[in-house]
Amino acid sequence: MISTAHSPRLAARFGQNTFVMRSETPLAEDQMRRAAPSIFAEGKHGSRSERYTYIPTIDVLRGLRHEGFEPFMVAQSKSRIEGKTEFTKHMIRMRHAGQVSTRPEANEIILINSHDGASSYQMLAGVFRFVCCNGLVVGDVSNDIRIPHKGNIRDDVIEGAFRVLEDFETVDASTDGMKALTLQPEEQRAFATAALALRYGERGEGEPPAPVTADQLIEARRPEDFGASLWTTFQRVQENAMKGGQPGRGAKGRRLHTRPVASIDRSVSLNRALWVLAEEMRKLKA
């Protein structure tokens, strides 16, 4: 059971220009508005044409709530362009009442949208790990649904949410498969090396190395993360790559601490790439 003893918290940010709020209980609208006011935008950005169908994200979310989906996390990008922040890209992570489970993870449906043309409505599958408050994005074992800003958006998004919901049996099977596989130390290091390239790019001859090493990416932050399974290795690497905070060296040898991933787009793309990497490792080892 999820504890309800803690109030929602506004984390500092994903990165420099993204704020995020996550709660252990469903978020109320006034709480969401504090972190992601663009969910409540009263109109589309002036750059959008007449063909752009404007429906506030909050109207879609209210429809989803009526169908049993509740928001547990919201995030919003900021903009350096004056007057645009209230229309920028935002993300909502939801759980369905029918998905209550005793697993140490919760399946989440991720809704992404904007009112400035930066994003269509997107529906993705996600997994939230309670012990580290880490939100994963599932790779290629589930539907990725995109709904343009035209037509019957609200009903299309609700239908899309239920389509993603149907994929969670496959997601659970993938997760269980990762938990059942043991990686040797050299395999853990190989996984972390591949993840390092995803996070910081391939480093050619003569280029400075990544600010941290593969060995640092597989370091555990808590006792629950010790272990040699593919799942625990994946979790350690994902958290260290996404959240940053590890001591490292810059291009000129200067000491630094790695930064968290800085945007909604980069967070989703890197999360998905790491999941695909873990899934491919699972297939190789199965």
Q: Indicate the average pLDDT of the chain.
A: 83
Identify the H or E element spanning 74. Answer: strand 69-77
Q: What is the pTM of this model?
A: 0.83
10 Å CB burial of residue 139 (0-12, 13-18, 19+) is buried
Q: Tell me which residue of 83, 81, 149 sits closest to 114, measured CA to CA.
A: 149
Alpha-carbon span 56 to 141, nearest angstrom? 30
Q: Name the region of 82 (left: φ>0; alpha: ψ -120 to 50; beta: rest).
A: beta
Alpha-carbon span 76 to 98, nearest angstrom? 27
* Vertex 198 angle, CA 195 and 203, to 5°: 100
What pLDDT sits at residue 35?
A: 85
**Residue 285 reports pLDDT greater than 90:** no
Residues 6+ apart with CB under 8 A from 273: 139, 198
For the chain, domain boundaries: 18-167, 181-285
**Residue 10 reports pLDDT greater than 50:** no
